[in-house]
Amino acid sequence: MIPFLDLQGLNKSLSAEFQAGLARVLSSGQFILGPEVEAFESEFAAYCQARYCVGVANGLDALHLILRAYDIGPGDEVIVPANTFIATWLAVSYSGARLVPVDVVATTGNIDPAAVEAAITPRTRAIMPVHLYGQTAEMDRLMAIAERHALKVIEDAAQAHGAVHHGRRAGALGHAAGFSFYPGKNLGALGDGGAITTSDPALAERLRMLRNYGAQRKYHNEVQGFNSRLDELQAAFLRVKLARLDEWNASRAHVAERYLARLGDADVVLPTVLPGNVSSWHLFVVRSECRDLLQSRLVEAGVQTGIHYPVPPHLQPAYAELGHAVGSFPVTEMLHRQVLSLPMGPNLSDEQVSRVVAAVSSVHN
């Protein structure tokens, strides 16, 4: 079976370096907010071309804490894409602000800037675009809209470590960005982890308090904060992987190029990368009107695939209270019926890519 992502193989190749990281943390005796987190924060900020990085417990917390740090809450509105993983929505729900979902562009799956503009009201405080599958949202247009209406743009960069938009990295495109280091992401820990990047010093300082019980000094609590910290061990592991991130993203791009070059005649719609964007290729997502048939044929051919995602947030029982009917976001709902993620990863061999291409090409609508 060609695995959807061979995480096991990737981590194995770094085993000795992980052991060295563990040994460093054990001998330091510091497990929370110590030298590894500090070093990772400065390395990751530099990587993202942002001034600050604040490590937190996971990607959802990163997004939620940014909203808190901006004092966005009850009475405010935050515009989000309908087509995303539910964490984007949950971050807004946790803050108490009102979720204002809008539809996406069919070709990229990313938030539609025209729909964003149409959804702005006097209560709108922020836009939270998602760089879905590793391709940045149309940030130039979104930042121009935000500037006209004095809004914050909070990037959900959980799938976009290393992605580029007109020469600038995800994480430095909006006012602040939330990253996830869930194991399967392009930069993944050996457990949960997350981070916020920003170039706003006041925001970074507030986030450092919020993640650590609202305290700048131990036992002196300025605000009612949270416990959401990246731990030393995960930071040590992430430093090992960050050193490989560009090389691994280049390997993903190589896989994507081969898929794009060789699936041109297959009965699928291939992903589109807009001019000025360099995708991190977190996922390689094709579309088919016979998605379920295609997926089961691929299983028979020994190819494991994924669906990102099968049910959009507005149709989940968790968000039944918002009362969005089927058909509320037609582009999003079409994508959810048609998308299929092919195997993708830095260690997918040319031979494996050829087998996936052959299997996909043999299925006809």
By CB under 6 A, tell whether 312 contacts ligand PLP: no
Q: How far is the CB of 243 from ligand PLP (least distance, A)?
A: 21
By CB under 6 A, tell whether 159 contacts ligand PLP: yes
Are 159 and 188 within 8 A, CB to CB?
no
By CB under 6 A, tell whether 333 contacts ligand PLP: no
Cα–Cα distance for residue pair 207/315, rounded to 1 Å: 32
Instruction: Give backbone dihedrals phi and psi of 334, rounded to 5 degrees, phi first.
Output: -60, -45
Closest alpha carbon to 186 in 232, 247, 228? 247
For ligand PLP, the closer of residues 59 and 343 by Cβ is 59
Give the one residue of 41, 77, 156, 231 binding ligand PLP; rule: CB under 6 A: 156
Candidates 82-90, 115-123, 133-141, 207-215: pick the segment binding ligand PLP (CB under 6 A): 82-90
How many residues of this chain bind ligand PLP (CB under 6 A)? 15
Give the one residue of 56, 130, 242, 360 binding ligand PLP; rule: CB under 6 A: 130
Cα–Cα distance for residue pair 118/108, rounded to 1 Å: 20
Cα–Cα distance for residue pair 299/306, rounded to 1 Å: 11
Are 49 and 36 within 8 A, CB to CB?
no
For ligand PLP, the closer of residues 88 and 295 by Cβ is 88
By CB under 6 A, tell whether 87 contacts ligand PLP: yes
Q: How far is the CB of 168 from ligand PLP (least distance, A)?
A: 20
Residue in this structure with the two tokens 């031979």, named with its chain if needed = 351
By CB under 6 A, tell whether 88 contacts ligand PLP: yes
DSSP, collapsed to helix, strand or coil, labels residue 284 as strand
Which residue number places its CB atom closest to ligand PLP?
59
Cα–Cα distance for residue pair 320/272, rounded to 1 Å: 32
Give the one residue of 2, 58, 211, 271 binding ligand PLP; rule: CB under 6 A: 58
Q: End-to-end CA distance of the chain: give it in Å, rounded.
A: 24
Q: How far is the CB of 321 from ligand PLP (least distance, A)?
A: 21
Q: How far is the CB of 318 from ligand PLP (least distance, A)?
A: 15
Residue in this structure with the two tokens 């392009």, named with its chain if needed = 186
For ligand PLP, the closer of residues 41 and 156 by Cβ is 156
| Tokens representing residue 53 in the block | 């990085």
Closest alpha carbon to 344 in 265, 254, 270, 272? 254
For ligand PLP, the closer of residues 194 and 346 by Cβ is 194
By CB under 6 A, tell whether 85 contacts ligand PLP: yes
Residue 308 neighbours by CB distance under 10 Å: 19
Tell me the residue type at 265.
D
Instruction: Please enumerate in sequence order all residues whose Cβ is within 8 A of that of 259, keeping only pairs 6 or more positions apart, or say none.
Output: 270, 284, 342, 353, 356, 357
Candidates 56-64, 73-81, 206-214, 290-298: pick the segment binding ligand PLP (CB under 6 A): 56-64
Q: x/- contact string, 181-220, with ligand PLP (CB under 6 A)?
A: -x---------x-x--------------------------
Give the one residue of 2, 4, 55, 59 binding ligand PLP; rule: CB under 6 A: 59
For ligand PLP, the closer of residues 31 and 94 by Cβ is 94
DSSP, collapsed to helix, strand or coil, labels residue 84 as coil
Q: Residue 31, Cα to own-chain centre: how many angstroms? A: 26
Closest alpha carbon to 156 in 249, 108, 90, 232? 90
Candidates 81-89, 198-206, 260-268, 284-292: pick the segment binding ligand PLP (CB under 6 A): 81-89
Point out which residues bind ligand PLP (CB under 6 A). Answer: 58-60, 84-85, 87-88, 130, 156, 158-159, 180, 182, 192, 194
